[in-house]
Amino acid sequence: MSPFSYPSSPRPLVALLAALLLAVQVQATALTTLLAANERSCYYADVDGAGEKVGFYFAVQSGGNFEIDYVVMDPDDKVLLEGVAEKQGDYIFTANKVGEYSFCFENEAYTNDKLLDFDIMVESEPRRTLSAQQQPLKEHTSALEESTYKISGLLSSVTRTQKYFHTRHHRNFSTVLSTQSRIFWFTVLECVIIIAMSLLQVWILKTFFSRSGR
């Protein structure tokens, strides 16, 4: 008998592969774009089946008061989501129609350029029917599939938290730059006023003594 022992059945490995096949399939697009003043920009996502979940996230990182207008429309140009002067948004909706969905950002009412981070996610959950030979693996795949969904949910939570801190970092950094600029110009103005007052005092004293001499 060999001193090495081998697995009697490859079922755990097959169960793991089956669970991965049953995992959620996600198509996502994460972008950063600069939207100029008085500009409108649209992006599109294709939905291949009715009932799929569509996620839409955006956050204004810098520019003005961090406000932007947006509108989301279905393939029939019906408005699904819209907002005016929004700083950020995180939405999930069900796509009831197959086709191309549009996600538009409008900066036409503002005079500052805007730096935007946004995600467009199309999610589907395919379910495979287990054959007769795979029925013994049902318990293994169910447990692994549940664990996979839990891990996916935790990763989504971590990703959202990272996006939140990323947005807060950009906004706070923009506030710091704005404060530094204001302090600099206030200091320049203060120096100009001090120099002007000094020159004015010299002129007044010179005029006073000139008149006294007379």
- Structurally, the chain folds into a number of domains equal to 2
Q: Are 123 and 53 in contact (CB under 8 A)?
A: yes
Domain for residue 1, yes or no?
A: no
Q: Are residues 110 and 204 in the same domain?
A: no
Q: Are residues 34 and 82 in the same domain?
A: yes
Percent of the chain with pLDDT over 90: 30
Q: According to the model, what pLDDT value does residue 104 have?
A: 95
Q: According to the model, what pLDDT value does residue 214 have?
A: 54
Task: Identify the domain containing residue 169 by its residue range.
Answer: 153-214
Q: According to the model, what pLDDT value does residue 140 have?
A: 57
Q: Are 35 and 105 in contact (CB under 8 A)?
A: yes
At 172-194, the pLDDT tens digits run 887 888 889 899 999 999 999 99
Domain for residue 11, yes or no?
A: no
CA distances in angstroms from 22 to 27, 51, 86, listed in the order given: 15, 18, 37
- Other beta carbons within 10 angstroms of residue 179's beta carbon come to 10
Q: What is the CATH number of the domain that holds 83?
A: 2.60.120.680
Q: According to the model, what pLDDT value does residue 124 have?
A: 64
Q: According to the model, what pLDDT value does residue 213 have?
A: 54
Q: Which of 76, 91, 126 is the last residue of a domain?
A: 126
Domain for residue 170, yes or no?
A: yes
Q: According to the model, what pLDDT value does residue 193 have?
A: 95
Q: Which of 126, 143, 170 is the last residue of a domain?
A: 126
Domain for residue 134, yes or no?
A: no
| Average of per-residue pLDDT across 65-92 | 92
- Helix 11-21 vs helix 138-213: angle between axes, to the nearest 10 degrees? 50
| Average of per-residue pLDDT across 134-162 | 70
Q: According to the model, what pLDDT value does residue 128 have?
A: 45
Mean pLDDT value across the chain = 77
Q: Are 39 and 113 in contact (CB under 8 A)?
A: no
Domain for residue 5, yes or no?
A: no
At 14-55, the pLDDT tens digits run 444 444 444 444 455 568 889 998 899 999 999 988 888 898
